[in-house]
Amino acid sequence: MTEQLATNITWHEGEVSHAQRNQSLGQKGATLWMTGLSASGKSTIAVALEQVLLQQGKHAYRLDGDNIRHGLNKNLGFSAEDRAENIRRIGEVSKLFADAGILSIASFISPYTADRDLVRKLHEDAGVAFIEVYVDLPLEVAESRDPKGLYKKARAGEIKGFTGIDDPYEAPTNPELHLKTHEMSVEDSVRALLECLQDNNLLEA
């Protein structure tokens, strides 16, 4: 192996291209941007989708609150300015993953149209695919599920500026995919996402 490493080193002018990285991974890097209310099912669907893609030999990575809020964006709060910067940074990072050939699955409430549109534009300007996925669960259903007790706290005034309670959720008007998760199983949603990826020719290089 050392022999091989030592004798087989050549390269050309210029950088590895997005197309070459796609070719190497057998897919097209893209961002799947999952937006929706707290408790709408974004993370559950994203986790399942990542697993199913891996089974099919595809390469995905999830960006979510767990690996962003405690890391890259740990110095951001919840002011209007910080919320916009939160989504901008996530959009930039997701764009880098997509450029690297990865199917990047970003799941964040991302309630404002302007912020999502900015992320879409970042991707368009870089020539990488952006798939907006509206994870649509009626507020009353999300609130009745309330797995983390956040809606209850928001109603009690213990959390301020909570999306759907005292802060707006601006629903996407023209998303690439609209998942009505009140009427669909997680399996249905994953199937719809796979079909969307396939329809956009993202599952082959």
The burial of 184, by beta-carbon neighbours within 10 Å (0-12 exposed, 13-18 middle, 19 or more buried), is given as middle
In the list 89, 153, 155, 180, the residue contacting a copy of itself (rule: CB under 8 A) is: 89
Of residues 50 and 143, the one with the C-beta less far from a copy of itself: 50
Active site residue 110: yes
Residue 156 engages a copy of itself in binding (rule: CB under 8 A):
no
From the candidates 110, 144, 185, 189, which is the catalytic residue?
Answer: 110
Cα 124 from chain centroid?
A: 16
In the list 19, 36, 72, 76, the residue contacting a copy of itself (rule: CB under 8 A) is: 72
Of residues 21 and 120, the one with the C-beta less far from a copy of itself: 21
Residue 92 engages a copy of itself in binding (rule: CB under 8 A):
yes
In the list 26, 57, 147, 161, the residue contacting a copy of itself (rule: CB under 8 A) is: 57
Residue 129 engages a copy of itself in binding (rule: CB under 8 A):
no
Q: Which stretch binds a copy of itself (CB under 8 A): 47-55, 109-117, 135-143, 147-155?
A: 47-55
Residue 174 engages a copy of itself in binding (rule: CB under 8 A):
no
Binding to a copy of itself (CB under 8 A): which residues in 95-114?
Answer: 95-97, 99-102
Q: Which residues are catalytic?
A: 110
